[in-house]
Structure 1
């Protein structure tokens, strides 16, 4: 099922506007609230090919999409299309965080980020080689997790004291027991086979106060993917993401000892809830020295992540500067304690 949102004024396609949170017609400027948009102006067509091939309602072009695509635009006329049959049943998202950063804002923010790269080549810092910026809703699972933790350990407290001509060391041993109950809310794990996991993890945090109940108009004008991996497949990754936090919390409860030796540590983490959620990401494709560099931007907060190229000349100059500065400091210290001039 293909879904177009038609402008009640002029009949053009409407898209989701990240600035206003409404559906907007770029032809006549009309804006409509998503909640109250009339079904009268929603055009639905059906495809026997499960949406892999569809005919654009505007221009008649035949568009081929990958099986995971749930929203796209016509490459010929630019019409926004939502593939509704891929957003139903078990494939229907529960939540969505709408885009807050527009494409223009994303481009300006990326250029600003490039200029702050102290060790990047000068040509990269000008940020004038952006090839493409694509707004994409990436499928995530948000997990509510509970961890029951039972810990046994031996703690020591050591003190030294002097009595007469002797220095004594006293070591006391303590049995340590902790029974801990931890809840973690909305732990995000991306469920797309295409997306780089490390890149997606670095886009965090998202502000979950902006979570909305999913409605298809939020996707109009953007690309969206459906998940490749279900909640059971991604649960181990969610557990791995909170492991360091659990260890840090355990350590924070065992303080004041000279040393701690764990004799037993049992962690049982279980899933309480999982929400199929679409999160906004701007993908930025940048050409530099015959290579394409891929960056990602959080479509809600504007945070940019990626690995920019490094200027080895700048790195050498930076280390040279540090070495020279250290040499001057050492000489000044030498003079202060009676050393000669250089």
Structure 2
């Protein structure tokens, strides 16, 4: 009997040790990934998109995947794709406007005449991306988690109201590049490309006469004290699309269960999260603009017609560029605009 009792004790001890080892292994399976943002901590991209998405991932993975926000972004904004690919940071995002030669397809929602809100544009673009663009893999080298857009792009300046295309002639306009820059030039402005966070200094010093931005930027970059005129174009006369991605090696090291959990809060869910956050800040910015006595003009029929006429070549060029990369540009352009209507009707 003693021998059996001893065996039972050893068996129980072995079970305890095995259980402890399992707990230890589970504890060590926790992964902490780095994140960074090239806009300030107060910007909605940092606090309402990245940070909220990170919380959603932590919850979806039951705490197995967590994130540490870096105090400083490890590269200039246009270099973000390479920074994530090369492992300087594990998770971040970049607007396609900063990398137009590398990312042709995301310029689709940047073309004039999109949806009325960031949420509509983001969800419609996300659906088109995963259906048509993802198989071509313009984000090769990183793990793409989602795409989204900012709110409709508008005109802000320090000189005069913009009621017709000719009012932009010779005006020095800061843009983020991509379609924004192309539209500025097509409208007769003297366009140059600078990252968004530099806008206040450019406008306050007179280096720039104006900038093309969504309404949100009035708050994000504290432009209410320097901007004097705003022209609001229905659906935006340009947009900006973002890719949100993770270092591929770090992604591959995650378990299949955690990968699935992350994707459950990414993709269209991320597009909707970002779109709603942007729309909320756009609405708040409009009130700030009114309090700051910024002169706000709705785009006149003459201006709308002029923008439409001068954007035709830019739209046709995107269709041709997309087709050259293996996607029927004309078909996808038309389907995107149908998707915009479907999303708007369902919201």
**Is the structural similarity TM-score above 0.5?**
no
Higher relative strand content: 1
When the two structures are superposed, what TM-score results if normalisation uses the length of structure 2? 0.24
When the two structures are superposed, what TM-score results if normalisation uses the length of structure 1? 0.24
Query: Quick check: which has more Rg, 1 or 2?
Result: 1
